[in-house]
Amino acid sequence: MKAMMIEKPNTCHLVEIDKPVPEAGWALIRVKAAAVCATDLELIGGSIGKQYPIIPGHEWSGIVEAVGSAKDEGWVGRRVVGSNDVVCLTCTECRSGRWRNCDSFREIGFKANGAYAECLVVPVYALSELPECISFVQGALIEPLAVAIGTAEKVDLKLGETVVIMGAGSIGLNMLAVAKAAGARRIIVTALSEKRLGFAREMGAFATFAMEGRDIANLIHDALEGYPDVVMEATGIEDCVQLAFAIARKNGKVAIAGFGRDEDIRIHIDDIHIKNLNVHGSGNNWNLVSKALNLLKDGILSTEKMATHFFRLDEYEKALTMTKTRPDGFIKAVFLF
């Protein structure tokens, strides 16, 4: 099968390798769609994962082609998406539903081979059936949607709360969709530049502000007639993280959902201390694939329009370059198989 392999940081190749054989409890998935995440660029660049060679790709959908145990035969031929968590299922953390805390946790697409390939293997326990009404492309976008749902749950987003979302990339826009569905009001989206804020306005943001060197704290305050109840920081950029703590209202809630690229950044801790902020770490999605699926199935959420550019796997350089440079009109690149 064809796969895009990262041999070592900043060295990728399209390779022809043997199809993996699913062990007992695992399934071989024929990938139908795999979306490119900005985090994949970090994996290629060497700031995350750090285990090579590796096939990236953690946003995927496909069809079960084979299984490793006779008891799982019922999955063969079914359209699926899945969690990327490879865990032991037996430790205290796993048994409490906190798979990500498992000592043997490995994430598909980071420490186990992912979906930039014609096939990948995933644990059967991680699979969810993709109903016919949800396309493979939409299925591949469920992972970032689940991250946004997880963020809303971690901050306990409530009906009528005001929200500032920092970042208009895929995660920021998914957060906007989720915050709207959850009944937040006056949702403001900020980004470093104006580039992708048009999408946020189309999706119903109350206001959008490009930072572009401006002091936007006052603009946000005026638009909300106060400071926000909730700030969801989805950039991991120092200026944005500092601003998140600065603008949250007293006792407000801040979700840190952006990857910090393995770097140290400065924060003004008195913003947290004096205002008694509630700060939530919000990386990854925690077993929320099924919830995301159900919300899409019932039309509560729709995020398919975030897939803006489509590629064959052998065009991976083009897809990665676009993800990095984000030309006008671009949100997300998706490989179709």
Angle between helices 142-154 and 170-181 in degrees, nearest 10: 60
Work out how close the CB of 311 gets to Zn ion at its nearest, in angstroms, rounded to a whole number: 17
Query: Under rule CB under 5 A, how many of the chain's residues touch Zn ion?
Result: 7
> What is the per-residue binding string for Zn ion in 220-249, x denoting contact by CB under 5 A?
------------------------------
Q: φ, ψ for residue 144 (rounded to 5)? A: -65, -30
Determine the Cα–Cα distance for residues 304 and 308; give it in Å rounded to an integer: 9
Work out how close the CB of 73 gets to Zn ion at its nearest, in angstroms, rounded to a whole number: 26
Which one of 67, 102, 197, 203 is in contact with Zn ion (CB under 5 A)? 102
Environment class of 78 (CB within 10 Å of its CB; exposed 0-12, middle 13-18, buried 19+): middle
Question: Of the listed pieces 66-74, 102-110, 227-235, 309-317, which binds Zn ion according to CB under 5 A?
Answer: 102-110
Work out how close the CB of 306 gets to Zn ion at its nearest, in angstroms, rounded to a whole number: 12
Q: Among candidates 122, 130, 9, which has minimal Cα distance to 66?
A: 122
Choice between 39 and 128, CB closer to Zn ion: 39
Q: Which residue has the tokens 């470093």?
A: 192
Choice between 278 and 284, CB closer to Zn ion: 284
Work out how close the CB of 284 gets to Zn ion at its nearest, in angstroms, rounded to a whole number: 9
Q: Does 87 bind Zn ion (CB under 5 A)?
A: yes
Which one of 5, 33, 54, 94 is in contact with Zn ion (CB under 5 A)? 94
Choice between 32 and 58, CB closer to Zn ion: 58
Question: Of the listed pieces 8-16, 101-109, 181-189, 243-251, which binds Zn ion according to CB under 5 A?
Answer: 101-109
Work out how close the CB of 96 gets to Zn ion at its nearest, in angstroms, rounded to a whole number: 10
Contact at 8 Å (CB) between 334 and 62?
Answer: no
Choice between 278 and 308, CB closer to Zn ion: 308
Q: Does 88 bind Zn ion (CB under 5 A)?
A: yes
Contact at 8 Å (CB) between 163 and 179?
Answer: yes
> What is the per-residue binding string for Zn ion in 47-86, x denoting contact by CB under 5 A?
----------------------------------------
Q: How many CB atoms lie within 10 A of CB 97?
A: 10
Q: Does 91 bind Zn ion (CB under 5 A)?
A: yes
Question: Of the listed pieces 29-37, 225-233, 261-269, 314-322, which binds Zn ion according to CB under 5 A?
Answer: 29-37
Question: Of the listed pieces 9-17, 48-56, 98-106, 315-323, which binds Zn ion according to CB under 5 A?
Answer: 98-106
Choice between 39 and 83, CB closer to Zn ion: 39
Choice between 141 and 230, CB closer to Zn ion: 141
Residues in touch with Zn ion (CB under 5 A): 37, 39, 87-88, 91, 94, 102
